[in-house]
Amino acid sequence: ETGVTQTPRHLVMGMTNKKSLKCEQHLGHNAMYWYKQSAKKPLELMFVYNFKEQTENNSVPSRFSPECPNSSHLFLHLHTLQPEDSALYLCASSQGLTDSGNTIYFGEGSWLTVV
Amino acid sequence: AQKITQTQPGMFVQEKEAVTLDCTYDTSDQSYGLFWYKQPSSGEMIFLIYQGSYDEQNATEGRYSLNFQKARKSANLVISASQLGDSAMYFCAMREGLVNFNKFYFGSGTKLNVKP
């Protein structure tokens, strides 16, 4: 059982809908991440939060809006998406941004289809 | 230039045999970390093994070992005694610097199929 839980696992939404992806980590980590995985493309880092503060926004369109209310929870709010936004969205966490030996632990991902 | 290159889009291996998945990386940092992840069809990315740039010994974790050749900038994953459950996508990744997961790069992956 993964220490990072994502819901929903599958989501189909229309281009005018508003939906949210939720991520919760049970590992006591301080940093959380959103990644996008599209077909035939490497994973793309979208957002990084460290101690609830956003430290990275990797030129992500504003139709994706992250929210990190505390170190254990991370949301990705979705609004007026495009079909090309269909992808697997992976949440991840790590102990922090300052430990050389640690790694990132991923959730099972949320499969998003925009129709 | 790509930070992580995985040149094998797909690989087949017979059950119980060993297989090597290739990974080369590109960085000018002296301090970096190399990772391998496994992604089954369910989507979860599972951490397998880590190698630090200053580690002199090759990392090993059970049936996984990382063949680290620093001068060649390669970090190949070796899976010994393949099992059917090893069939999955495998991603090589690199963190540049010692302290920052903001600079964390993934390769395009290798799809491994283990044949019975």
Cβ–Cβ under 8 Å, residues B111 and B40: no
Interface test with B, best of A33, A100, A102 (most B CBs within 10 A): A100
Is residue B76 over pLDDT 90? yes
Cβ distance of B43 and A41 shorter than 8 Å: no
- pLDDT tier at A42, thresholds 50, 70, 90: confident
How many Å from the N-terminal Cα to the C-terminal Cα in chain A?
31
Name the pairing type of β-strands B60-61 and B64-69. Answer: antiparallel
Q: A10 to chain B, minimum CA–CA distance in Å?
A: 11
Of A41, A56, A97, the CB nearest to B99: A97
Dump pLDDT digits (tens) for A70-109. 989 999 999 999 999 999 999 999 887 655 556 888 999 9
Dist CA A49 CA B69 (whole Å): 33
- pLDDT tier at A4, thresholds 50, 70, 90: very high
Q: What is the mean pLDDT of chain B?
A: 92
Environment class of B41 (CB within 10 Å of its CB; exposed 0-12, middle 13-18, buried 19+): exposed
Dist CA B1 CA B105 (whole Å): 12
